[in-house]
Structure 1
Amino acid sequence: MYSDSHLHSSFSSDSDTPMEEMIQTAISKGLSSMCFTEHQDLDFPPGEFDFLVDMDAYQQTLSTLAKKYQEQIHIRFGIELGLQPQLGNQLSDFVNSYPFDFVIGSVHVVDRLDPYESVFYENRSEKEAYLRYFTCLLENVKKYSCFDVCGHIDYVVRYGPNKNLYYSYQNYQEIIDEILRVLVDKNIGLECNTGGFKYGLGHPNPTEEILKRYRELGGEIITLGSDAHVPQYIAYEFERAVDILKQCGFSYYTVFEKRKPIFFPL
């Protein structure tokens, strides 16, 4: 079983699952390693969630459980970092303050709005909303280099009024290609996030065409992540995702340890 590099527990404000329960389920599914990537979204707009992790408690609990289960599974210390252009040095300062194995850079906020909320799509077409998301993502990947892979780069389509019914890579090819080129130039990887299957999209985030295009542009660093917030979705549809990655030209997938990529055959 492949390593799952995108997992949340109750240390993320949108999960109620104890970390130990996530670990026990991962072991029961046969994973040899896993990486927790709790949410850290500085300056997140007020709402149901704050997406700020108690780092001392998170680090201490993970360390304790990693030792407890070290004979059964390798547990890595990660973070999912919310990218917003106004945060400046706060992000790199935060990342440099902890001994992370892995840092995902994701965009969950655009113009002080969360695409999860319907208000993001008000007074503009779905295409305009998606394009605004990609424009903000491009601004962030150009500005920041303090993360190892870019998370779920077409995250916005999970929540649009029609989800991915009218969405395709071709409709946004110019700006998506620019995002991918920046990642390749910075040697920042891409995540294959199987949460898209959970949300009924029939595809991972990003879609197969984007994964293939990243590979064509020279991208080699690809991680597998379920984005699970509850145990049943750990390593969700990984066999399907592996077949997709092979079809897109990948021979290896990547796991990070101490911020260094390790490549394993698919």
Structure 2
Amino acid sequence: MKNSILWDCHMHSSFSADSDTDMENMIKGAISRGLEGVCFTEHLDPDYPPTPDQQIFHLDLDAYARRLSFLREKYKDSIMINFGIEYGLQPHLKENLKNHLKLYPFDFVIGSSHVIHGSDPYYGEYFKGREESQGYMEYFESILENLDVFSEMDVYGHIDYIVRYGPNKNLYYSYERYQDILDEILRTLVRKNIGIELNTGGYHYGLGEPNPCTAVIRRYRELGGEIITVGADAHSPEKISFAFDKAAKVLSDCGFRYYTVFKNRKPEFIRLS
């Protein structure tokens, strides 16, 4: 199937602590790939634990909003640019994030699990003293803990993010192995009218699958899920719209005839051509 997905709705620039790419270079990269639109979803991860590489997760939201507004106007005849945020969810942050949402006119809000009980699996320390399967299960349990107290996001980001960093990645991981808890997550999302994303980061992490994997996306659709955005989780221009041809086929194979883009926090459904 040709690439019929023309919006990348999950990307970062140097406003996120884990990217050093200027926002304008990301926009130019998206234009060069023929995209109709992008949504920047810079990281906001309050109470992020100290990291081995001394990474400081800070986001200057005022500067981010000003720069995006300027570039949106500058490139208005070439590409649409939406204003998003990716919240790093933790249960104790619920009031902080709810109040934060009132301050900025976001188009799109991703809620993601990065930190699980004080540790990010991106760093290998998370798996010390844990079986891989135990670490995966604790991660999925943390998603339910977040959903129990916070429902204000538009989609839940890269639901099986942890698989990118497991000791064996997805060698022993499958939807079927964790079906009970994954089904509980998906049913909760459907009930709360929260979507999911097809995050192609899994492909450039060598999983051969998106995040979440195809079987989870298919199950979400079977359970009545309708809202699904697509993003490459790009932190540099060469990853923009990465493997979107594969993403289009996954969506089609899972029963979707469209993907979703959010504007002013409202979903717009775009048909796959």
The two structures share one fold, judged by TM-score above 0.5:
yes
Q: By how many angstroms is 1:49 displaced?
A: 2.3
Q: By how many angstroms is 1:205 displaced?
A: 0.2
| Overall identity of the aligned pairs, in % | 58
Among candidates 36, 41, 44, match of residue 37 of structure 1: 41
- Partner in structure 1 of residue 7 of structure 2: 3
Q: By how many angstroms is 1:52 displaced?
A: 2.3
Task: Supply the distance in 1 between the matched residues of 2:43 and 2:192 (Cα, whole angstroms).
Answer: 23
Task: Supply the distance in 2 between the matched residues of 1:141 and 1:53 (Cα, whole angstroms).
Answer: 24
TM-score of the pair, normalised by structure 2: 0.96
TM-score of the pair, normalised by structure 1: 0.99
SS, match of residue 167 in structure 2: coil
Among candidates 253, 261, 265, match of residue 259 of structure 1: 265
Task: Supply the distance in 1 between the matched residues of 2:58 and 2:196 (Cα, whole angstroms).
Answer: 24
Task: Supply the distance in 1 between the matched residues of 2:57 and 2:200 (Cα, whole angstroms).
Answer: 21
In the alignment, structure 1 residue 28 sits paired with structure 2 residue 20: no
Task: Supply the distance in 2 between the matched residues of 1:256 and 1:27 (Cα, whole angstroms).
Answer: 19
Task: Supply the distance in 2 between the matched residues of 1:35 and 1:192 (Cα, whole angstroms).
Answer: 14
Q: Give per-residue Cα distances to partners, 1:149-175, cap 9 Å, x unaligned.
A: 000000000000000011011111000
Q: Output the aligned Cα RMSD.
A: 0.7
Among candidates 8, 12, 16, match of residue 20 of structure 2: 16
Among candidates 83, 86, 89, match of residue 95 of structure 2: 89
- Partner in structure 2 of residue 145 of structure 1: 151
Would you say how many aligned residue pairs link Structure 1 and Structure 2?
Answer: 266
Q: Give 5+ residue unaligned stretches, structure 2.
A: none
Q: By how many angstroms is 1:88 displaced?
A: 2.7
Task: Supply the distance in 2 between the matched residues of 1:252 and 1:88 (Cα, whole angstroms).
Answer: 31
- Partner in structure 2 of residue 120 of structure 1: 126
Write out the 4+ residue segments of structure 1 that deviate beyond 6 Å after TM superposition: none
Larger RCO (CA within 8 A; separation ≥ 6): 2
- Partner in structure 1 of residue 182 of structure 2: 176
What are the residue-to-residue correspondences of 1:1-266 with 2, within 5 Å? 1-47=5-51, 48-266=54-272
